[in-house]
Structure 1
């Protein structure tokens, strides 16, 4: 390590870069996790409402905005953190990923039926048991789902740091 002091902008240029995302985790009345099918990603075909933070936006604000844009649902606060997710960069994405998954609660059958998907992003919404999701998503996405479900039931946020992009 160099003992030379760098101005903040020079030091910042030496640090790892990451994208930040916010997402909302919902279940249906039978406690089955709800996911949206992405039209643009075969790497992560089933997702929670959410997305990458815009400049100046905090993760909770991102989760609320993205949920509204992707489903028409308005999530009320205060935010309840279920998990912090971290992934290292890889061949398909050059930046690390830091995410915050918030609890959106249970959706009634009426709320699920009234979801309006943005067809440019998602074409289907499903509520399935954790085991039913296993064959529909990559193993790292399913492990993340299991961690979030466990966190919700335990009341203790999860730290999930193996959501890496493939090298």
Structure 2
């Protein structure tokens, strides 16, 4: 059987689709992670990093992280991108998989943290805590992700995490 090559605009229609998101990982000067609490009632207990979905055509993951960080916190990130982690979330809550990129936002001073202005439609609280305090606050999977990203920053080796969903189609 001969392979039939398709023009790119036709070929991409045959590929599985995914959504993309990007975020920044910040700590304070004592290396304690900063996170934002989701204000949406159904997910209010979820702690997140500043970031969100790529929803602008042609926007790169880093551009997404910069835009979303400014929208959610008022912080303007101007340094070069430094990738800390890539995440794969299998289909489940979303009908498609999601790929995520986490960039190093650096260490914020107390003054910089005090300038955070949250978008109340997305987050209602920010907190800076030690890893042991976050372990007491977060679910196991979320904490494992936080710890992996902190290790990636400390080691200089980016992390890759697969976060399979309930409907994962991956064969084992």
TM-score of the two chains, using structure 1 as the length reference: 0.90
Aligned-partner Cα distance in 2 for 1:44–1:17: 29
Separation in 2 of the partners of 1:43 and 1:143? 19
Unaligned runs of 5+ in 2: 168-172
In structure 2, the residue matched to 1:71 is 73
**CA 1:11 to 1:113, structure 2 compared with 1: closer, same or farther past 3 Å?**
same
In the alignment, is the contact (CA less than 8 A) between 2:86 and 2:99 conserved in 1?
Answer: yes
Aligned to 1:164: 164
Matched residue SS, 1:84: strand
8 A Cα contact 2:38 2:44, kept in partner:
no
5 Å-filtered alignment, 1:139-158, equals: 139-158=140-159
SS of aligned partner of 2:16: coil
Using the alignment, how far apart are the partners of 1:64 and 1:112 within structure 2?
16
Asked whether the equivalents of residues 141 and 163 of structure 1 are also in contact (C-alpha less than 8 Å), the reply is no
Matching of residues 6-25 of structure 1 within 5 Å: 6-25=6-25
Matched residue, 2:117: 116
Coordinate RMSD, CA, aligned? 1.9
How many residues align? The count is 165
**TM-score normalized by the length of structure 2:** 0.87
Measured after TM superposition, the shift of residue 44 of structure 1 is: 7.1
* 3-state SS of paired residue (1:66): helix
Matched residue, 1:5: 5
Q: Which runs of 5+ in 1 are unaligned?
A: none
SS of the counterpart of 2:69? helix
Output one character per residue of 1:49-80: Cα deviation in whole Å (capped at 9) or x when no partner: 00111221001111011101100111112111
Whole-Å Cα distance in 2 between the matches of residues 135 and 42 of structure 1? Answer: 18
* Secondary structure of residue in 1 paired with 2:101: strand
What residue is the counterpart of 1:35 in the other structure?
35
